[in-house]
Amino acid sequence: MDQIHGLDELSRRVLDKGLCASCGSCVGRCPYVTEFKGRTVVLHRCTVEHGRCFAYCPMTFFDPEAASRMVFGTRAEASGIGRYEDVKASRATDETVAEAAQGGGTVTSLLIAALNSGMIDSAVLTSSIPGEARGRGFVGTTVAEIASCSGSKFAGSHSLSVLREALDQGRSRIGVVALPCQVRSLRKMALYDLKQEKLRERVPLVIGLFCNWAFSPRQFAEFLGKELGLGHIGKIDIPPPPAQVLEVETQGRTVSVPLDLVRPMIQDACRVCPDMTAEFADVSVGMYEGRPGWNTLVVRTAAGAGVVGEALAAAGLETDVFPSENLEHLKEASEQKRTRAAQ
Amino acid sequence: MALISKDDPGRELLLMGNEAVARGALEAGISVAAAYPGNPSSEIIGSLAEVAEDMGIYVEWSVNEKVALEVAAAAAVSGLNALVAMKQNGLNVASDFLMNLNLTGIRGGLVLVVCDDPSGISSTNEQDSRILVKSADLPLLEPSTFHEAKDMVRFAFEVSREINNVCMIRSVTRISHARGNVTLGPLPSARPKPHFDTNIILSALPASLTHPTAHRRFRQAKRLLADSTFNSYQGPDTPELLVITCGSGYLFSQEAVRLLGLESRVGLLKIGTTWPLPEELILSRLRDAGRVLFIEEVDPFLEDNVLELFAEHNTTLPKVSFLGKKSGTVPDLGELSPGLIIGILADLMKVSRPHADEAYSSTATDALRNFAPARSLAFCPGCPHRASYWAVKKALALDGRDGVVFGDIGCYALGVLATGFHQSKTLHAMGSGTGMASGFGMLGRFGATQPAIALCGDSTFYHAAIPALLNALHHQSDLLMIILDNSATAMTGFQPHPGSSVNAMGSQAPAVVIEDLCTSLGLKTVIGDPFDLDESAVTIYELLQESGTKVLILRQMCALVGAKKGPRRYTVTVDQDKCLGDECGCDRFCTRVFRCPGLNWDVSLKKARVDEAICAGCGVCADICPSHAIVRERA
Ligand SMILES: Cc1cc2nc3c(=O)[nH]c(=O)nc-3n(C[C@H](O)[C@H](O)[C@H](O)COP(=O)(O)OP(=O)(O)OC[C@H]3O[C@@H](n4cnc5c(N)ncnc54)[C@H](O)[C@@H]3O)c2cc1C
Ligand code: SF4
Ligand code: SF4
Ligand code: SF4
Ligand code: SF4
């Protein structure tokens, strides 16, 4: 417990330094921290010495060895894409799923299989806020609800704040789709579980997303609105290199914004985050560069293999080999993020 | 029938100092009385308002002190007797008019009673108003007892009529708010008919003519006061120590001398007419005193003036050593007390102090026993201000630009303290919050990014904030004015104000509706319910994102008025099984942060509970509890 502190220390180490990743894990647990229009706001001082806000925040501290022991039962793998069992190419077989998805619809397919098989009874997801670039947390309990959350929201969305909602509803098998920082937060919850909420058992499936960076929700919104004069933001896509643009759907048209223009809006937290492939997730899913309509699927744990198996068995997912040169390239990109973060 | 209007000359009654003043005004045959409420002066006009109909007088709670003085002056220039009362801060508001009225003078009688608040128990400052009276060239009387308070008012009217100018009376909290015996005098049977003599122009200009007139009237007053029986000496012919005192100081000194058995060694020179001084009387006593001690509340007013007099006559006077506030013998601020004076005298006279019991049984202490208790420094249970301040705090946090709240005078001034989450960042005079916010809202041109909020109550809005709001509007200052409308002048005892539909005398009156006034000015005006905490916070946030001058009225009845009007809205309980107490997830939010006195922290159980006797049943805390442990049911 000696490394766990309270809200004051969270403010000092994370919020005041602008290092909040907008994961949402400190939000909605108490009257002191809230999220408002994409910003994590402290409303009053709290005197609790060992608090969940500090303990579960991915940016306060992270013990890869403890997490690795818990998740994989082994020592941490501090290189490449972390520990994994298998890497595959994958995509949804269902056309409507594939259509709405960001990439190949793998994430949505896995969730549907997990729900239908009873592996999970609910899912903590990130739904879009109509007209806005940032998303918000959403607890889905039906296939339709899960499908409605397809697509990436490229600004921090505080979505883990609704984990509380799922827990309060008494859900006992909660699946979560999480960015790498959020995966870390979820693993810290399971490790420290300060209120003995059986968080390890109650979150049996963590699907991680690859992530190089996310936008700071307030800055990004202000940029789109005030600088570019774009209203009512729809889907946002980042086409594979060498495009170097952000494609923003807005009021019936698509606007290409050079990446260099929006880079300053990237959260500072992402610049110091070493994890590109959600190394502590059960499965991680990213884009498949060079093969549109497909995802990269990294299976890391038995639970991860289990959900992939369910999806294949239910014929919701198809997989293909992931060539070794692509894997090398992925590991390199992942290493680069690790190196950048260390600087 | 109310006590103060009893037509029973010779009868002794136990009256509060302020009631004694009111009775004195009735005996002097006033026609008009006006005031703006302010402790410790409020009961003067309050008690006159109660008997207004019976006594056939006109009483009003004016919109502010300056207007109160103007209303009374109109009666006095028309030949009537009029009384005006205010607290020390109020005299500042009225002073602009007073400093011109003193030059034109009046034709009837006008007595201005100002009640000082030593220690600032219910004030922002503890200003000594006597200094201002001196520069106005007006006569000043200071009562030491309750009976004297009554008789002095009558005498003040005589002086005022005689010199054709205002006569002032200074009271202090311990005279105004304590009770003592008063012997009633006769009440007059007839009042003059008002007439404004249009042959004479009452213009302060040109000062070259009016200033000399004021001086002449002042010299006239000096002659009238010189032999006043309100000044007296008791003690040996050549005392070892001469105590020169006035007001409450006399009461305490007399008691101290008696308790210490110093009657044969210490002389007491009581001054009732503190300005201009009864010079002959004082000089004659100084001739026989080697050592003088001044006892008075707040500033060394008497002390300075006597020293001045001594300096003027130093060639004919023996050596005297003066002790008082200047020598550090007496504290130069705060209220005095019998115990304090006993200590000072015992040290100076080298006698031992009496037992505490004996001191306690002193009559001075008795007289003070029902002295009004100091206001507690927290909002009442169920007070809407607590909710409003939380909404403001939350809105400013959500906004994140380090917004500034310019506070104002009223119960909500407590917003500078923990009970208002330290949200008000300035506190000065009535209406100053809006004036300062108006100025701050212009600083954007220099790069200021902090939004400005002006907070003010309904009564203060009418009193002095309207001109500041007009200023902001006209100059397009970026500010949000939040009017905490609890529909009462709660801090001073629920006197009606221009927004009320009844006046001081209880008759129907047209209400000036704040939102109507604001919208008619073209101001964006929003009305909210502070008890709806989250919505209020978001409304404030949204208004702060807009430029220009905006008004938000947070309206909810004062908890004390609510308690008078009807039963509680909700029955509120804490489900202790759900209560998280000081654990992570709550950290005693209700009792540590929100701090409604209706909620208690049970130290042994480590749970919150509702104190049924105190809870006002507003139900707001049910919305702030993170674990939904606070349950409210419609009562
Ligand atoms: C901020 C961000 C940055 C990313 N950066 C990269 C990258 O650099 N390289 C790469 O290969 N892939 C990246 N991805 C992942 C990629 O965009 C796809 O999400 C991923 O390939 C899965 O695709 P899919 O078709 O299976 O997802 P879908 O089936 O469309 O499902 C998307 C899922 O993502 C969740 N989600 C959406 N937005 C968020 C969010 N902001 N936070 C948490 N969960 C969210 C939804 O709940 C939904 O379940 C990023 C995703 C995000 C949100
Ligand atoms: S320690 Fe607990 S109660 Fe305090 S701010 Fe953090 S999460 Fe909230
Ligand atoms: S990173 Fe997450 S837990 Fe940490 S401060 Fe930001 S929102 Fe809270
Ligand atoms: S706010 Fe609620 S949970 Fe917290 S101490 Fe009060 S009653 Fe208990
Ligand atoms: S209901 Fe709650 S907030 Fe209102 S008075 Fe009672 S204890 Fe205080």
pLDDT digits (tens, 9 = 90+) for A319-342: 999 999 999 999 999 999 999 999
Q: Within 10 A of B236 (CB to CB), how many other CB atoms are there?
A: 13
Could you say which DSSP state residue A119 is in? S
| Cross-chain residue pair B584–A41, CB shorter than 8 Å | no
Q: Say if B592 is an interface residue toward chain A (CB within 8 Å).
A: yes
Spacing, Cα B383 to ligand 5 middle (Å): 9
Q: Domain segments of chain A: what residues? A: 77-214+267-342
User: How far apart (Å, rounded) are the C-alpha atoms in residues B240 and B237?
Assistant: 10
**CATH number assigned to the domain covering B384-564:** 3.40.50.970
Q: Within 10 A of B195 (CB to CB), how many other CB atoms are there?
A: 11
Phi, psi of B338 (to 5 degrees): -55, -45
Among A11, A48, A164, most B C-beta atoms within 10 A, so best to mutate, is A48
Chains A, B: CB contacts under 8 A, how many? 48
Pocket test for ligand 5, best of B533, B599, B634 (most atoms within 8 A of CB): B599
Specify the CATH superfamily of domain B3-225. Answer: Thiamin diphosphate (ThDP)-binding fold, Pyr/PP domains (3.40.50.970)
| Cross-chain residue pair B586–A51, CB shorter than 8 Å | no
pLDDT digits (tens, 9 = 90+) for A21-58: 999 999 988 999 999 999 999 999 999 999 999 999 99
| Cross-chain residue pair B584–A32, CB shorter than 8 Å | no
Query: Which residues, 6 or more positions from B168, have their beta carbon under 8 angstroms from its beta carbon?
Result: B111, B112, B113, B114, B133, B136, B138, B139, B140, B141, B156
| Cross-chain residue pair A41–B593, CB shorter than 8 Å | no
Considering only alpha carbons, which residue of chain B is nearest residue A38? B398
- How close is the nearest chain A Cα to the Cα of B547, in Å? 16
At residue B357, the pLDDT reads 56
Closest CB to B626: pick one of A31, A37, A50.
Answer: A31
Considering only alpha carbons, which residue of chain B is nearest residue A52? B584
In chain B (635 residues long), the average pLDDT of successive 10-residue segments reads: 89 96 98 94 95 95 96 96 96 96 96 95 91 95 97 98 97 94 94 92 91 95 96 96 97 94 97 97 94 97 97 94 96 92 96 69 46 64 96 97 96 92 94 96 95 96 96 97 83 80 89 95 97 97 98 92 82 96 96 96 96 94 95 92
At residue B124, the pLDDT reads 87
Residues of B in contact with A41 (CB under 8 A): 397-398, 400
Domain B567-634: CATH class, spelled out:
alpha beta
Query: Which residues, 6 or more positions from A328, have their beta carbon under 8 angstroms from its beta carbon?
Result: none
User: How far apart (Å, rounded) are the C-alpha atoms in residues B83 and B91?
Assistant: 14
- Indicate the SS3 state at residue A326: helix
Residue whose CA lies nearest to ligand 4 atom number 6:
B590
| Cross-chain residue pair A29–B582, CB shorter than 8 Å | no
Spacing, Cα A41 to ligand 3 middle (Å): 10
Q: Please tell me the pTM assigned to this model.
A: 0.88
How distant is the alpha carbon of residue B212 from its chain centre? 33
Pocket test for ligand 4, best of B573, B588, B603 (most atoms within 8 A of CB): B588
What does each of the 343 residues of chain A score in pLDDT, given as a tens digit? 568 999 999 999 999 999 999 999 999 889 999 999 999 999 999 999 999 999 999 999 999 999 999 999 999 998 999 999 999 999 999 999 999 999 999 999 999 999 999 999 999 999 999 989 899 999 999 999 999 999 999 999 999 999 999 999 999 999 999 999 999 999 999 999 999 999 999 999 999 999 999 999 999 999 998 888 888 888 898 888 788 999 999 988 999 999 999 999 999 999 999 999 999 999 999 999 889 999 999 999 999 999 999 999 999 999 999 999 999 999 999 999 999 999 8
Give the residue numbers in A contacting B (CB under 8 Å), as ranges.
29-32, 34, 36-37, 39, 41-44, 46-48, 50-53, 194-195
Pick the CATH number of B232-349 from 1.10.357.10, 3.40.50.920, 3.30.2010.10, 3.30.230.70: 3.40.50.920
At residue B370, the pLDDT reads 41
At residue B495, the pLDDT reads 84
Query: Which residues, 6 or more positions from B486, have their beta carbon under 8 angstroms from its beta carbon?
Result: B384, B385, B411, B457, B458, B555, B556, B557, B558, B561
Contacts 24+ apart (CB under 8 A), A253-260: A255/A228, A255/A230, A257/A228
Residue ranges, CATH 3.40.50.970, chain B: 3-225, 384-564
User: How far apart (Å, rounded) are the C-alpha atoms in residues A3 and A60?
Assistant: 9
Among B390, B419, B584, B588, most A C-beta atoms within 10 A, so best to mutate, is B584
Q: In the CATH scheme, what architecture does the domain A77-214+267-342 have?
A: 3-Layer(aba) Sandwich (3.40)
Phi, psi of B431 (to 5 degrees): 85, -10
